[in-house]
Structure 1
Amino acid sequence: MSADTGRAPRDPAADERLESSAAKPWLSSYPPGVPATIDPGAAGTLVDIFDDTAKRYPDRPALESFGRRMTYGELAGHAAAVGSWLAEAGIGRGDRVAIMLPNVMAFPPIMFGVLMAGATVVNVNPLYTPRELSGQLRDSGARTIFVLENFAHTVQAVLGEVTLDRIVIVKPGDLLGFKGGVINLVSRYVKKAVPAYDLPGTISLATVVKAGRAAPRVPVRVTLDDVAFLQYTGGTTGVAKGAMLTHRNVAANVVQCELWLRTGMGDGPHIMVTALPLYHIFALTCCCMVLVRLGGCQLLIANPRDIPGFVKTLQTRPFTCISGVNTLYNALARAPGMKEVDFSKLTLCVAGGMATQSAVAEAWKRLTGKPIVEGYGLSETSPVLSINRLDIEAFTGTIGYPVSSTEVSVRVGDREVPSGEAGELCARGPQIMAGYWNRPDETAKVMTADGYFRTGDVAVFEPDGALRIIDRMKDMILVSGFNVYPNEVEEVVAGCPGIAEVAVIGLPDERSGETVAAYIVRSDPALTEQDVVAWSRERLAPYKVPHRIVFREALPKTNVGKVLRRVLREETAAPQT
């Protein structure tokens, strides 16, 4: 209370929201202190944000991996060395550099080093097959790649199809000191996790850092309009393409998230469990970039699929926040040993990437005492468009409220529909991508005449301005938070000898949200399910491989021959008699 008036002090942010709440009903539901709008360039570039935190908190832990911590000062030194090495190699503004790593200690220093050099990061899923890797490298034009040695054989397999000037080999224990050497030996010789490869002329990350430290650092002028990331996605059309995320896009989203999170998390310092892969836009922004802005520490989980190992890591120290997708929360909530984890410091459990199931949210709250706070976004939106309030008592089932400076419109065609009526969720704001890399035609398909991005998701406004996702407009399948596009899977499966026709849909799955199902008409009666799966595994990442194979005499089609995936879904959902 104000000592001189007896009234609560004015909240300028609340005044601003009140003026706009008629047109934007969600603003009236904002937490105190969150403004209706932001200055998207006020924080500077991602390099500025990183440099500012490193100078303010040089001795704070920034990263933790395999029990070893790295301070912001150390992180800045490693990143600067990578940036200087790239600059000495002639890599700078406009160049694309691929990073093919899981959540190892080396990922953030390499990523910030690329950004410091003024270049563009091309995030690559380490589980990609040669076909998928080749396509992404050729499309992006990246001619330098940092790859974990465990996946170097995949890079070797594409050398005849792409041009790579520099291949930097990263080991899982790099930048971890003496302990890192032990980790590397265990990975290679005990776990035998490094398939043989032959890549003459490669350079080790250790050599890069050493050479970079010896090279003079030439400051590179990075602007807000420079492309920071080419984030590959099928978008809403299923065609693989790189969303161009500028420094302005991602930095604005960092500020939007920071303002929201500070209302319920406090000033920290915070420790974020980063189990989602940093090459995924959710973890990239919401774990890495936001925690850097907050001066927090990321507890990096290199292999979240190893649930027993993951639980042991969580038992080692208290943490303040965790991010995940429905499948991860579900696995942890059921895992032995989780009751021995210390949740006393936990302030935030955020979910995105896929719909969170109520049963999972309830199990998680029973375990931790904290609700799952769900948000929503896409690669094309850097990613956050909306998020629930942090002070909720229980899981809401909505995706929350649009963040500051974000305009949301629910439309049928080009007509905006009233609150309570379903339509396509469209949005515009400073976090919306600059477009698809070299794909103006694809960009035009997802942008409206008045500058809104079409998400492809069907949503409805709740009375208080919260958004609820109803369904997806497209046939995209969501497996553990990763997009799977039926067109791509069908193209690969159709190439298998003995197949006449194939249609792919997603089916509900308790573990992964959805699973890929392939409905096949055989030309060779001897073809087996095992044949199809083996063929697919050689050409698709594991989460894209059909887990259910159904052989049929024919596929349902329209009168012009188009396969009706909808009918297949309806047949599967219909009760059996």
Structure 2
Amino acid sequence: MASAQTASRGTTEEMLAARPWLKSYPPTVPAELDEASFGTLVELFRNATRSFADRPAYESFGKRITYGEFAGAAEAVASWLQAQGLRKGDRVAIMMPNVLAYPAALFGVLLGGYTVVNVNPLYTPRELTHQLNDAGVRMLFVLENFAHVVEEALPNLKLDAVVVVSPGDLMGFKGKIVNFVSRHVKKAVRPFSLPRTMTFASVLAAGRSRKVQPVAVAPDDIAFLQYTGGTTGVAKGAILTHRNVAANVTQLATWLNGWVSTDGEERHVMVVALPLYHIFALTVCCMMMLRIGACGLLIANPRDIPGFIKTLKSTRFTMMCGVNTLYNAIANNPDAKGIDFSAMVLSLAGGMATQAAVAKRWRDLTDKPIVEGYGLSETSPVVCANRLDIEEFTGTIGFPLPSTEVAIRAPDNGDVPHGEVGELCVRGPQVMAGYWHRPDETAKVMTEDGFFRTGDLAVMGDDGSVRIVDRMKDMVLVSGFNVYPNEVEDVLVRHPKVLEAAVIGLPDEHSGEAVAAYVVRRDESLTEDELRAYARENLTAYKVPRHVVFRESLPKTNVGKVLRRELRDQVIGAKRAEGA
């Protein structure tokens, strides 16, 4: 779908007029990349494990494994899967948080020529059933902590086998301690009974008894069915080919190389707090780090902020990826002042809008700015990124990556002038091949000239930088005026007594919709009148929340993204129940 971008661009002047962001590129970053160089993720894996065999590849619960050990485990998984009679292209699901077995299982599936279906381990049986059946999954790798969910869903699934993983797998003797604590101290494993199961340890043992058979994996083969969060409807599987993801890795490496060496000489450690089943962490923290020979510091439970901070205090790290809520939680914890951030060269943010107040807190804590980027599951994911040499948070998502085109378009598909709001549309080699078995849904999001409609409202500056205004479906219409929740939330969280805020629109008989703010307080003395007065100082009247509700927490994804739609459903459902 993205092949149209390879057409002739015309003169340099015409190119700069059509793509003004190129003027902001550093001299080392080209406008276009050689698409023949993207290759496959299998080639990426082979090159990394061969070049960095003795380096640490991953660390979990204080235990490190080398690239060589990681490669051996992945090949054993691939060999075992081949012995089960799977055919090239068959789907294999992985349902785990960030533990050492995750990347081994992930690349084992890819080495065998199969397709990975990443599964959120917090799914309910209903959600799990939908995703696995929709993808036609034959094998499932699941951490034992979530095996009881699989047991409940199993009668409605069509699995050949289930592989049960423990958090201590690949850790040697230390793994026994980790497993004991998980099972008997934290009591994190509920009883379960699953037929046709294998342990991950037995899979490795069986796989190592035979050599993995080489499989011809091509760039257009499907690497992932990456399911969207389903916050706007039924979850759909974005088809990501090896070429899509490998292209994005090359784009990121090229962009990074403008400021940070990517030749493998520097020993980087990436804090992998976002779950690897999420596309942001999958590409940036896993695939990209393989490319530069970095070590991934796996955080199994980033919601345990005290435990997370304790890990950061004991480890020298150079890079970190996170979302707004994660950076906010760390910056607001007094123990974070004991973390040594001196080696950190990069704090990346994506997944949701980063609020200026959070960026300031992070800058004050670390003396480093948050570098924000933007992407989606359908774009493998990164579309835009800020320059890495910024001194302060910019409030934009930066510039389109090399070989990426963006357009800000009106509903009639015409481009809007710079500075005006329109829908962000993307064309490039990282754009998905479509939605799995949903040609009708694919047609809705692809334009005739090959652009993907993101559903995000954005503005492009004269320099080509892009600023996200909000999700189209989250916009609130007050008496004909557009209110963007991101803007209102950004104002509210600047109040020193506010920890988090989410803004939605509620039906109103006078104005069509009314702005409603749901707020988690940092200071319990905060009142509705105080917060509304603060909002009036910073927002025009129709944007000021008519309703202010204080809550203990906000509904979020496992990545920490606030679910406005779920919040709205909760509120409207409660109001209907009251009316009944």
Superposition TM-score tier, normalisation by shorter sequence? 0.7 to 0.9
Q: Which residue of 2 aligns with 1:283?
A: 281
Q: Is 1:202 the equivalent of 2:200? A: no
Whichever residue aligns with residue 49 of structure 1, its letter is L
Match of 1:273 among 256, 271, 274: 271
How many equivalent residue pairs?
496
Which runs of structure 2 are paired with 1:87-236 in the superposition (5 Å)?
A: 87-234=82-229
* Per-residue deviation, 1:94: 1.4
Would the aligned equivalents of 2:165 and 2:199 in 1 still touch at CA under 8 Å?
A: yes
1:510 shift after superposition: 5.6
The structure-2 alpha-carbon separation of the partners of 1:235 and 1:187, relative to structure 1 and needing over 3 Å to count, comes to: closer
Q: Distance in 1 between matches of 2:514 and 2:123?
A: 20
- Is 2:12 the partner of 1:24? no
CA contact (8 A) 1:94 1:118 kept: yes
For residue 97 of structure 1, what is the amino acid of its counterpart?
A: V
Give 1:349's aligned amino acid. Answer: S
Residue pair 2:38, 2:243 contacting (<8 A) in 1 also: no
Q: Distance in 1 between matches of 2:428 and 2:340?
A: 39
Shift in CA distance, 325/80, structure 1 to aligned 2, threshold 3 Å = same
Change (3 A) 1:61 1:166: same
**1:98 Cα offset (Å):** 0.4
In structure 2, the partner of 1:327 is: 325
Q: Conserved in 2, the CA contact under 8 Å of 1:235 and 1:380? A: no
Q: Could you say what secondary structure the match of 1:31 adopts?
A: coil
Aligned to 1:457: 456
| Aligned residues of 1:79 and 1:109 also touching (Cα < 8 A) | yes
Deviation >3 Å, runs of 4+: 15-19, 234-237, 475-479, 503-512, 541-556
CA contact (8 A) 1:40 1:251 kept: no
Query: What's the CA shift for 1:546?
Result: 4.7
Which amino acid in the other structure matches residue 177 of structure 2? V
Contact 1:49 1:293 in 2 (8 A): yes
- Which residue pairs with 2:360 in the alignment? 362
Q: Deviations over 1:195-227 (max 9, x none)?
A: 110112210000000110101221011010001
Deviation at 1:91, TM superposition (A): 1.8
The answer on whether the counterparts of 1:27 and 1:36 sit within 8 Å (CA) in structure 2 is: yes
Letter in 2 for 1:291: M
Structure 1 residues 553, 135: CA separation in 2 closer, same or farther (over 3 Å shift)? closer
* Amino acid in the other structure paired with 1:427: V
| Alignment of structure 1 residues 302-381 onto 2, 5 Å | 302-381=300-379
Distance 1:555 1:106, change over 3 A: same
Q: Partner of 2:39 in structure 1?
A: 44
Structure 1 counterpart SS, 2:455:
strand
Could you tell me which residue of structure 2 aligns to residue 567 of structure 1? Answer: none
1:70-121: per-residue Cα shift (whole Å, max 9, x none)?
1111111100000111111122421000000000011001000000000000
Deviation at 1:162, TM superposition (A): 1.1
1:476-532 Cα shifts (integer Å, max 9, x gaps): 9999xxxx9x9xxxxxxxxxxxxxxxx9999555699xxxxxxxxxxxxxxxxxxxx
Distance 2:187 2:84 in 1: 33
1:292 corresponds in structure 2 to: 290
Distance in 1, Cα, partners of 2:230 & 2:338: 40
Task: State percent identity of aligned pairs.
Answer: 60
Q: Residue 259 of structure 2: which of 248, 257, 264 is its match?
A: 264
Distance 1:509 1:280 in 2: 26
- Residues 81 and 209 of structure 1 are in contact (CA less than 8 Å); yes or no, is this contact kept in structure 2? yes
Partner of 2:575: 552
- Judge conservation of contact 1:46–1:250 (CA < 8 Å) in 2: yes
Residue type of the alignment partner of 1:185: F
| Distance in 1 separating the partners of 2:233 and 2:521 | 24
2:428 aligns with 429
Q: Note the C-alpha offset of 1:542.
A: 11
Matched residue SS, 1:62: strand
User: What is the aligned counterpart of 1:400 among 394, 398, 401?
Assistant: 398
Distance 2:516 2:451 in 1: 28
Residue identity in the other structure for 2:410:
V
Cα pair 2:398 2:466 within 8 Å, conserved: yes
Alignment partners' CA distance in 1, 2:149 and 2:235: 19
Matching residue of 2:467: 468
Structure 2 vs 1, CA of residues 195 and 555 (structure 1 numbering), >3 Å: closer, same or farther?
A: closer
For residue 489 of structure 1, what is the aligned residue in structure 2? none
Q: 1:555 to 1:254 in 2, by over 3 A?
A: farther
Flag structure 2 segments of 5+ consecutive residues without an equivalent.
Answer: 1-9, 476-484, 490-501, 505-512, 523-552
* Separation (CA, whole Å) in 2 of partners of 1:89 and 1:432: 33
Distance in 2, Cα, partners of 1:220 & 1:277: 28
How far the C-alpha of 1:335 sits from its partner, in A, is 1.5
- The letter for the 2-side match of 1:426 is C
CA–CA distance in 2 between the matches of 1:218 and 1:318?
Answer: 39
User: How far has the Cα of 1:266 moved from its partner?
Assistant: 2.4
How far apart in 2 are the matches of 1:201 and 1:208? 13
TM-superposed CA distance for 1:160, in Å, is 1.3
Question: Which position in structure 1 is the counterpart of 2:437?
Answer: 438
Instruction: In structure 2, give the amino acid aligned to 1:257.
Output: L
2:287 aligned partner, one-letter code: M
Q: Which amino acid aligns with 1:112?
A: F
What is aligned with 1:500? none
Deviation at 1:32, TM superposition (A): 2.4
In the aligned structure 2, how far is the partner of 1:542 from the partner of 1:160? 32
Tell me which residue corresponds to 1:71.
Answer: 66
CA distance in 2, matches of 1:306, 1:138: 32
Helix, strand or coil at the partner of 2:329: helix
Q: Is the 8 A contact 2:28 2:257 kept in 1?
A: no
Q: Is the 8 A contact 1:41 1:248 kept in 2?
A: no
Greater Cα shift, 236-245 or 301-310:
236-245
Structure 1's unaligned 5+ residue stretches are 1-14, 487-502, 513-532, 557-577
Task: Rate the CA distance shift 1:104–1:505 in 2: closer, same or farther, 3 A.
Answer: farther
Q: 1:449, 1:441 → 2: CA distance?
A: 14
SS of aligned partner of 1:22? helix
> Once superposed, what is the RMSD of the aligned Cα atoms?
2.9
Cα 1:507–1:97, aligned 2, differ >3 Å: closer, same or farther?
farther
Relative to the length of structure 1, the TM-score reads 0.81
- Contact 1:377/1:385 (CA < 8 Å) preserved in 2? yes
The answer as to whether partners of 1:43 and 1:49 remain within 8 angstroms in 2 is no
Distance 1:60 1:510 in 2: 43
The 1:506/1:244 distance shift into structure 2, 3 A limit, reads: farther
1:23 is displaced (CA, Å) by: 1.4
SS of 1:159's equivalent in the other structure is helix
**Relative to 1, partners in 2 of residues 1:92 and 1:295: Cα closer, same or farther, differing over 3 Å?**
farther
Q: Does the aligned pair in 2 maintain the 1:339–1:367 contact within 8 Å?
A: yes
Deviations 1:295-315 (A, max 9, x none): 111000000011111001001
Q: 1:236·1:456 contact (CA, 8 Å) conserved in 2?
A: no
- What residue is the counterpart of 1:496 in the other structure? none
Aligned to 2:532: none
User: Residues 124, 504 of structure 1: CA spacing in aligned structure 2 closer, same or farther, 3 A cutoff?
Assistant: farther
